[in-house]
Structure 1
Amino acid sequence: MSRRTNTLGAFAAALALLAALPAHGQDWTLRREDSRRDIVIHERARPDGYLEFRGVTHLQSRLSAFVALFEDFETMPDWLYRTREITPIQRVNDTESYWYSINTMPWPLRDRDIVLHTSLEQDPETYVLSVQAVGVPDYRPEDERYIRMPVIESSWTFTPLPDGRTQIEFRGFADPGGGVSSGVLARFQEMFIGQAPYRSLRGMREVIGKAKYQSAQFAFVEEPPPVEPSATAD
C-alpha cells in the first residue's frame, strides 16, 4: 500500500466533550501527573477565555488498534469520560463521518449532546495520525431532553516513537452551552480539565491491548516498520 494522507471520520466518537486548537495563548502549566500510569495533563488559558487541556501518555500498540477502539462505539462509554451514548449519524465515506454523543453532567447541569464532524490525516513520512473534530451543532435537530454544546473542537495525535511505543496526545476545550453563568462555566472547565483527559487516557490504557483491537487492520492506516533490535557489541 502506498503512503498517502488519509482522513478518518470514524474517530468522531472518541472526541465527545472536548476540543483542541492550534497552539497560542498562554504557556502550558502542569495540572496533573501520574508517573505510575505515565499520564501527564497540562492546561492553559486561551485568549477567548476557555481553558484548554493537553494530556499525554505512551503505549505499546499498533496504530490500527486506536482506529478499531474508536470504531467500537458501543463500548466507548466504558472508557471515555462521562460518555453515555455514541451513535454514528452519517458516513460520508470510509474516512469521514458525523457522530452524535450524549454526555452526562454533574448537578446542577443538564446532560449535554454533541454533533461532530471529524477527520484524520496520516503523515506519509512519519506515520503520525492526527485526528481533528469540529462541532456542527446545527447538523441535527436539537433534542429537548438535552442541551446542545455549541462549540467543540478536538484532537488526538498518535506518534510512533523510535523505541516502538506510540505517544498519544489528547487536547481540547468545550463550551457547555445553555447560557450558563461565568462562574458555572469556570467550574465546568475546571472539572473537565482535571478529570476528562486523565480518565479518558487511563481508560484507553486499560483496554487498548485487547486482541480485537490489536489484530485490526484498515486500508487507510499504514503501520510504521518494525523496530529492529539494537546491535550488541562483541
Structure 2
Amino acid sequence: MLKKVFFSATLLIALSVSAFAQYNWALKSDKDGIKIFTSPVANSKLKALRIECSYESTLTQMVAALLDLKTRPEWIYHTKSVRLIKQVSPSELFYYSEISLPWPAQNRDFVAHLITTQDENTKVVTMDGPIAPTMVPERDGIVRVKSSISKWLIIPVNKSEVKVEYTIQLDPGGAIPAWLTNMFASEGPTQSFKALRQQLKKLEYKTAHVPFIKNY
C-alpha cells in the first residue's frame, strides 16, 4: 500500500511541474540540507530557480506557516512588508508584498494570487502563486513585478517530515546589477529556507488547524 501511495505521489509531482518541463535544471548549491537548481529560460537573461529542502513538520504545520502573511518578513529574504488584499476562501487569497533592494536598485513589489490544493490520495499539497499585477495601483519609486510563475510542492515523507520543492521564474523588471541578481539567486533561497526551519518551531504552527488540509 505504501509503495502505491509513493508511486502516486511521484506521478502527481511529475504532472504538477509540467508547466516547468521546458527547463533544464542543474544543481548549483547543496548546503545545509538545501539544494538549489537553476535553469536557463528562453528569451530571458535571468534563470529559473528550484529549491528543495526537507523539514521536520506535518503538512498542516507547513501550510499554516506559509499562509501566515504577517510573519513572512521574518523569514523571506529582503521582504519589507506583506499584507492581505482579498481572502477569497480559506484556501485562496490575494496578497501584496514589497521587496527591499540595496542601492542603486529600486524596491520591487507584486500582488500574488495564492491558491492551495491537496491531492486526496497522496496528500501532496500544491500552492500556486501566479501574480495579479494590476490588482493594486503601482507606487512611485517602486518597480512592479509583472511576470512571475511560482509553485510550492509540499510532499509528505512520513507523519512528521515533509519535502518542499519551490520553483520560481520571474522578471523583476527594470535594471538590476548582475551582482545583485546573483545574490538573490544564491544567498536568498538559502537564507529564506533556513529561516523557515526556525519558523516551523513556533508553537502556533505546531498546534495549528488548517481545515482544508489533512495530514499524512
Task: Calculate the TM-score normalised by the size of structure 2.
Answer: 0.85
> Which residue is equivalent to 1:44?
39
Instruction: Work out whether 1:170 is the aligned partner of 2:166.
Output: yes
Give the TM-score taking structure 1 as reference length. 0.79
Q: What's the offset of the Cα at 1:211?
A: 1.2
Structure ID, larger Rg: 1
- Quick check: 1:29–1:44 contact (8 Å CA) kept in 2? yes
- Aligned pairs (5 A) from 1:67-216: 67-162=63-158, 164-178=160-174, 180=175, 184=176, 186-216=178-208
Higher deviation after alignment, 191-200 or 131-140: 191-200
Q: How many residues align?
A: 199
User: Could you report, residue by residue, the CA deviation over 1:2-36 in whole angstroms, capped at 9, with x for unpaired residues?
Assistant: xxxxxxxxxxxxxxxxxx982233521121111xx
SS in 2 for 1:139: coil
Aligned residue type for 2:213 = V
After TM superposition, give the deviation of residue 145 of structure 1 in Å: 3.2
Give me the whole-angstrom Cα distance separating, in 2, the residues matched to 1:112 and 1:134: 16
User: Which one scores higher on RCO, CA 8 angstroms, separation ≥ 6?
Assistant: 1
CA distance in 2, matches of 1:124, 1:222: 8
CA distance in 2, matches of 1:101, 1:32: 27
8 Å Cα contact 1:39/1:198 also seen in 2: yes
Q: Deviations over 1:66-91 (max 9, x none)?
A: 22213332221111111010000011
- Large movers: runs of 4+ above 6 Å: none
Which ranges of structure 2 fall in alignment gaps of 5 or more residues? Answer: 1-16
Residue in structure 2 matched with residue 27 of structure 1 by the alignment: 24
Structure 1, residues 105-162: CA drift from partner, whole Å, max 9, x if none? 1221111111111111101111000111111111111111311111112111110014
- Structure whose residues are more often helix by fraction: 2
CA contact (8 A) 1:112 1:147 kept: yes
**2:54 is paired with a residue of what secondary structure?**
strand
Question: Identity, % of aligned pairs?
Answer: 27
Q: Evaluate the alpha carbon distance shift between residue 118 and residue 26 of structure 1 in structure 2; reply closer, same or farther with a 3 A threshold.
A: closer
Secondary structure of the residue aligned to 2:205 is: helix
Contact 2:58/2:159 (CA < 8 Å) preserved in 1?
Answer: no
